[in-house]
Structure 1
Amino acid sequence: MGNVTSLQVAERAGVSQSAVSRVFTPGASASAKTVEKVRKAAQELGYRPNMMARAMITGKSRIIGLVVAYLDNQFYPLALERLSNALQAQGYHILVFTAANSRADVEEVMQELLDFQVDGIITASVGMTSDLTARCNAAGIPVVMFNRGQDGAGVSAVTSANVAGGETVGRYLLSCGHRNIAHISGWQGSSTGRDRQQGFVNVLTQAGITPQIIDGMYDRDTAAAATRTLMAQDAPPDAIFVGNDHMAFAVMDTLRQELGLRVPDDVAVIGYDDVPLAAWAAYDLTTMRQPVNRMVEATVATLLARLTDPTAPAKRIEIDSPLIRRGSTKGPKA
């Protein structure tokens, strides 16, 4: 049999062609009886709706493009799963692209997404240039940045309150009695890395402490090398704040397995994100919890608002994070 049409499905199901269209249009209204008859007929005939053809007719693809820089950080597969579920609940599907954090790679991927005529774009841990922002605005495609901010107006962004989070970490380590404190930061080319460092340094500076800082680049190997450098000093730190959990695990592995040190007795370690692995007994990591569910909800709501009203102004949303106290620090556990 050749390509099956919606008209053939309608005839088999004994309904109108418009009823078939409603059944296969996310968000459209159709009775349960109609849905059952149409889907049964479609299955018998082997019918599949042509989503691209529908997009050309309606001007809406019902596809959201999602660009992520890397997936080895356990926070992002979790966030992607929840973003996908939340968008599917609204009748959308996700088209995922990965891009290195370089301008050329991001521009190439964004152009591909524009060519696919996606309805909107979410970027996760990926920066946006002013040129890319202008191109998306000109194409009428709203963009929301997830877990990354951008200076200037024009792009909506949803993050945790990273400056405040860094401040919380600084106050907590001081309250635990630490004074020789180091920071293996997140990549300083990212707003999250800069903001967490800024809040942390602000609190320690007010206490008369200047922490040693090494950019961990959000990379496990770089964080491990930074740990060796810090601990080889004549006066090594007794506490290390690490810019995310992904790096913090590498820091703890290096301290314990390679350098033979005890966590937290010799060195306290605190991370950021609270990915599921942080609660495992092998790490028991004290960390700032990024409220991923609330961040996803805010991201989807912001994107849908821009899809409904393209003239709506861009928003920058910050969501407070709690400190989750576990066994990698000397303070009381939560």
Structure 2
Amino acid sequence: MKQDTLLNVSRLKMHFDAGKGKTVKAVDGISFEIKEGETFGLVGESGCGKSTTGRVLMRLYEPTGGEVRYRGKNIHALDESESFQYNRKIQMIFQDPYASLNPRLTVRDIMLEPMEIHGLYEGRKGRLEKADELLESVGLHRGFANRYPHEFSGGQRQRIGIARALALEPEFIVADEPISALDVSVQAQVVNLLKKLQKEKGLTYLFIAHDLSMVKHISDRIGVMYLGHMVEITASARLYKEPLHPYTQALLSAIPIPDPDIEDKRKRIILKGELPSPIDPPTGCVFRTRCPAAMDICAAEKPVLKEAEEGHFVACHLYDGNMKKEADGVKVTVQTS
């Protein structure tokens, strides 16, 4: 069954004034779409622009260029009524469960606040009942509602954050590295909870993370970002089986495989050099200064994200003309698993 496009990001730019006439190009012309009911994973190194993209979708930033359309409407050109509804339909799960909850409020008050602002449910009694239901839906006892955030573990706080995000019955949730601050033993529990809630409530997720091994288990499709640019987009299974972009190949080669025979034979790709500054990115392809397959054209022309194979988009000159090539003796198709 064909899924409808819920959100479409087109040539999005988010630049910041760094003073002295310099500009930080945090996001520099990315495009992607998210279909209704799917989880779109957004991955890349710290500083690549993932969280900035999520904040633009939440309308915390006014973009420098491009546009974001939600159900066909530009989210930065909505009237007052449409804007109020959008703020309800899109919610966020924050990275830090310790900083994202007001320490002065009980869990119950944290849950009630957004409901009261949007006038949802039948009076205070209905809201209290809804708050208790939401706590139970994320695996917490309704008796916890009278406690304060400091009385909970990190995993429990993140569950409270998830329950708060669900309080307004959203359609779309931006999960900004929701498991990176949690113990490894708790991360899988939170991911499984998100998958369960998605199935029950028909939610759509943008799942932002830098841990590719965890993104694989929750995402339907994955976009890979590098220095403010989208370098590859495809289905999760295909990305892990056949990554096309040299940067994606390097990222995946760093994921350990729990099989000593495979791990011993596998090729590890070590990127040379430091991550360039978003204030002064390289000309042409922003990855060329660290790419083992860089060619002369990479410095002269910026690659365009295009379909190299059906449903598999990549921004790399190695795939110009839909042909896999070799450059400088470096074979670009690398087995990563």
State the TM-score, normalizing by the size of structure 1.
0.30
Q: Which gives a bigger RCO, structure 1 or 2 (Cα 8 Å, sep 6+)?
A: 2
State the TM-score, normalizing by the size of structure 2.
0.30
Q: Which one has a bigger Cα radius of gyration?
A: 1
Higher helix share: 1
